[in-house]
Structure 1
């Protein structure tokens, strides 16, 4: 039995340190996302060519609850929501089958010579939110900073805990062939001639095998260019013996792509890495490994004057929150043992108190084996079960103690008889307690997925406490229990406290991740002396005097309550008090004095400003105005109230992104579209213990007030990091119709009306349709086009090539495309 106890303790401690940690459990939604990228098309064309045909196909799927879609410039996103019983992998395969069927149709659009390829995937929200940013800056060209970022990117993406690390603030390079349209016309060269010449000339292929001299040799035709300037010597067209080279009609440059992203830290440009973790993996472990990778790179690879910093590190906040809850558990154990000591005596309290860590470690071992993470819901379940799990131990220890004290039985006989008497009652008691929480596990939908951790944790904790009480406690009392409460010899106390305290100090100083265990051991050694010198006298006095008085008072009160008309009066009075309680609660809710919410509102660990300009806004213009908004935000964040000797004790870091990476993961939901009209400013708060009692929600409201109404036509939303299950907006008002312009105008009127009413509790009203992008329409005169032998398709293709360009192959440099 002692071997089993030791094994459970070791496995439980191991599970505690190895279980992935996160704020809240990850929720797997039964949604499949279909994203389609089709560059160079308006939102209306995307809807007509991509979204509508796919929606028609997907409507025939079984188990579908709702299909929603968003069509914007260059991009389509369709969300297919299935019922909760549907397996996500099965649903994804069915969606892919429908997509493949639609792609096989003849009128499905093509891009760069291949059919447009929709991507179907499921999504975990935790994989969409970067859990830290790495910022790189210094007196180096952007290209060099990008090299440093890619060096880190390769090592970080090799980690199993990391899904991806995206480079922001710098562009990839491309080979640009800038064609002179007038020279093209003069030489009668078309865009197709140029594209075909580059595609056919920049290629390496195999020509098969040749057998010569008894050997089989592979023949390869090497045609890929080694330098972009090699393209200038490509022959585009030959007529009457005259060759037209690419250099005659175009300029070839190796340059950065058009800007799609900007990144800044504290207002200064940086190259940034957005690091996202894989679902179900240990965020804290990933962050620790990333910090080691960064430290190693700074030590051995990066120049000393390169500035590398880590911001928006969510793992620090998670560690703080988990540690706070663990400290609450430890403090709860101490309080429970202290209370039991006064009622049962020190040694019996230790027998019962033994059940707490034993049940906890057994629970962690089981939960770890089930693949659960150590999150707020699991820890809350452990705290909830803390007071209940000692019940079984109290019953076992008290019954064995009674049999030894009153009937004079030996330890072993008392343990056998005592367990036999109370085994069934405590089993039934545990089962009924667990049964009370079963309905929480049957809650359907997303909330059910979120809440099920609570009843499962309680069931595991109470089940573990039952096993500990029946098996482990019975063994301990059968061998160690005594009815006499004797003083522990002074020499024994000195030896025990020296050993326990000494090992505790060693672990506390050198134990690293196990330092918490060392502090508990030191505290235990100190408390042994406190008990010997102070608490034992108090406990004895309480048992011999106060407890006797309480028992007598209770007996007297109970006898009086059962005489004459008192039972009836007590019953009626209790019922009246129940009615008063229900009525008072109802009145409090009706008067809004008591607020009802499913999940408590959290104090922000991050204040995030999402900025959205009208569609079609150029990214340079977006970046320009975002810089102005940054200054207004920083003026609030760096107020004197939050500064101490030049250091902001409230805000740890602030970063800004424009374009790629600037979307809201709660609303954009896996969108891969370019976002030149969006910006984002993220301010990360310090841990609660450093905030000096100031409210981060008040800071968020100050930022929101400072940005209200300053840029008409620009949607600015000041939000905070989300806690709990994904719920979306508390209230959604949906407008349906065929005319987008009329719908948007009506929505604007509704927003203005609601804002004018100053409804309490309404913080912000957002419209999720952005249809302000100006457009130019080209109307083809069919009669004239027919006379010239030109079709509408040719006009469109030529305009697209001249304005949007076309991909004409791949240039490889150092293994990169």
Structure 2
């Protein structure tokens, strides 16, 4: 280490050039690093859904769930599984061990489900197998709503979806609440009787004609090409002119015996925003994309497209995770600026402005070099990285202060600044390294926490390792070089400078330094008493904490910014009945102060209970719809908890309504 410090100081210009390049590279890396809300960690959960139209919850559990349960028990790495039946489907939630390869687990599940399919009813549809993937959750939701025809909203949503998915950072823009376009054929029974045509004949003719017929290939000698007979029904005219029967005098077409009109498939669910019909576009960013850039692109695209929309159609963005990321980055930058100012004020008071400037430079320089390391390891800037950065603000300056103070003391003894900072870098190497390793030792156990929360929390010690490693290099290499160039003899009285000397009497110091020295000397003279007081204080604190009934929580109960209201009901309800129940709940809470907006889904849009992929935790069974409430907490005048209490009280007044509320921080 001695030769490294001496070599660095002897090549000051080269080392300073390396420092400048590292700072620039770290700054560029910080700007380009993907920014997201939560770390992208593997989630060892797999969901199996087997749809079967008209099946009851009891029959779904018996006919769909149990055959799968019998087959999947032998899958390697399976930890637990839960199955349940609901109206129209059977669902299973499988949890695997944290170190299991999720991709391989999905393949194993598919193999077992294929074995169980032989026990399913013939009308059961193909099972849907999904793995949980944090990157598949939407980063924001675009609500299209207003007084407009369904076809108009459909066209606007599809056009906006196409524009959004052209962006390289957007993986998918999913439309929720969209009605499927169909051609409806209304057959006239009297005309069928007139032409002596049966319903089965019409069904067979329409089915056999709506397909692409391959007709082989032709070899021309110079090559070959495929021949096909187009028979797909693409327009209403194709259906109208479809020949049904040939008589002696004419050909009977479909339009002769039926009325054909363009309409929509019967709705199985509805979506609204603030009580108005709506379509939701869930924007899913591509893995590794910058959520801030993605959000800005979505806002710019909506603003541009909105110029061509009818005046009655509007778009509102909800569940925007980019706001949270932006706030966290702003808080980090504010924390860094505040830390630099506070440290410089304290160091100026103790050592002078030049020493304060050296210590102040080390804080942002350590951060940008840490971002360079994070980018090298393929990290993203997320909530846990931000948390680690904020923790590191208060501890990364320790090494810089120790080195600077030691160099100042040596300069007070008469050494030149170059020799003083060289000696400081060499003499303080092991004290600074050992203190940093001691700090990291408290966080290293997180790296060996083999669970999903452990994978989530692992970003914290990894971030601290990067930041404190950068601060070590800064304090022991770059700071001595900077000090050898711009350091100066500490300012102060002759008595203070004399007290800093190694062979001086510390009790001769004046002011706060002298008071502190005399207090420490008196405590050293009474080691047993001081040790007893310290040990006794620790024991009393633990005894008080254990007897005071403090609760333990994994995450703090912070003020919610959003909440889900799950509306529940039993029985074979129609889509309209489910819609009415959900809207009844929406109308009851629409005028509550503190609720900014309400987006609702009912029927198939609301979900049949169980697992949700739109940000909610496990949905309760018998869920026929849900409300997503955006709470007005940003202005500081509303309390999210009190708002939810008002929501609960209002919903309890609705006769016959069964519901559950799930807060979302």
CA contact (8 A) 2:446 2:454 kept: yes
> Is this contact kept in 2: 1:169–1:262, CA < 8 A?
yes
Match of 1:656?
600
- TM-score with structure 2 setting the length: 0.86
Structure 1 Cα separation of the partners of residues 517 and 172 of structure 2 = 69
| Distance (whole Å) between structure 1 residues aligned to residue 38 and residue 631 of structure 2 | 19
Where does 1:726-805 land on structure 2 (aligned, <5 Å)?
none
* Offset of residue 387 of structure 1: 1.8
Identify the residue that residue 421 of structure 1 maps to in structure 2.
427
C-alpha distance in 2 between matches for 1:248 and 1:425: 96
Alignment of 1:339-738 (within 5 A): 339-406=346-413, 408-483=414-489, 485=491, 548-563=510-525, 566-589=526-549, 594-637=550-593, 650-663=594-607, 667-669=611-613, 678-686=624-632, 688=634, 690-692=635-637, 694-708=638-652, 710-712=654-656, 714-722=657-665
| 8 Å Cα contact 1:264-1:655 kept in structure 2 | yes
Q: Counterpart of 2:10?
A: none
Alignment match, 2:104 = 90
Decide whether aligned partners of structure 1 residues 269 and 214 sit closer, same or farther in structure 2, where only a CA change above 3 A counts: closer
Partner Cα distance (2:416, 2:256) in 1? 108
Structure 1 position 558, deviation (Å):
3.5
Deviations for 1:619-677, whole angstroms, at most 9, x for unmatched residues? Answer: 2122223223222212223xxxxxxxxxxxx5443333323443499843589x9x996
* Cα shift at 1:229: 5.3
Contact 2:609 2:623 in 1 (8 A): no
Counterpart Cα distance in 2 of 1:347 and 1:214 = 85
How many matched pairs? Answer: 638
1:146 aligned residue: 154
Structure 2 regions of 5+ residues with no counterpart?
1-14, 501-505
User: C-alpha separation between the residues in 2 aligned to 1:615 and 1:160?
Assistant: 45
**Candidates 259, 272, 275, aligned match of 1:267:** 275
Instruction: Report if the CA contact (8 A) 1:174-1:257 is conserved.
Output: yes
- Give the superposition deviation at 1:292: 1.3
Q: Aligned in 2, Cα 1:559/1:410: closer, same or farther, shift over 3 Å?
A: closer
- The alignment partner of 1:324 has SS state of helix
* Matched position secondary structure for 1:210: strand
Q: Which runs of 5+ in 1 are unaligned?
A: 487-538, 638-649, 723-817
Give 1:351 shift: 0.9
Deviation, structure 1 residue 243: 9.2
Report SS of the residue matched to 1:121.
Answer: strand
Q: CA contact under 8 A between 2:79 and 2:96: conserved in structure 1? A: yes
**C-alpha distance 130-401 of structure 1, shift in aligned 2 (>3 A):** closer
What is the match of residue 74 of structure 1?
88
- 1:194 shift after superposition: 4.3
Question: Deviation at 1:464?
Answer: 1.0
Shift of 1:333: 2.3
Query: What is the CA–CA distance in structure 1 between the aligned matches of 2:112 and 2:488, rounded to whole Å?
Result: 74
Tell me the distance in 1 between the aligned counterparts of 2:166 and 2:18.
39
**Which of 439-448 and 93-102 deviates more?**
93-102
TM-score scaled by length of structure 1: 0.71
Distance 1:371-1:384 versus aligned 2 partners, 3 A rule: same
Deviation at 1:587, TM superposition (A): 1.5
State the shift of 1:48 in Å: 3.9
1:209 aligned to 2:217? yes
CA contact 1:210–1:216 (8 Å) conserved in 2 = yes
1:416-451 CA distance string (max 9 Å, x none): 333222223322222232122111222231221221
CA–CA separation in structure 1 for the residues paired with 2:517 and 2:312 = 80
The 2-side partners of 1:620 and 1:560 are apart by 83
Deviation at 1:143, TM superposition (A): 0.6
CA contact (8 A) 1:622 1:676 kept: no
C-alpha distance in structure 2 between counterparts of 1:109 and 1:244, whole Å: 39
**What is the CA RMSD across the aligned residues, in angstroms?**
3.6
Task: Give 1:61 deviation, angstroms.
Answer: 0.9
**Displacement, 1:556?**
2.9
Aligned to 1:157: 165
Distance in 2, matches of 1:386 and 1:350, equals 16
Assess, with a 3 A threshold, how the Cα gap between structure 1 residues 436 and 252 changes in structure 2: closer, same or farther.
Answer: same
Instruction: Give 1:210 shift.
Output: 3.2
Structure 1 residues 124 and 190, CA gap change in structure 2 (3 angstroms): farther
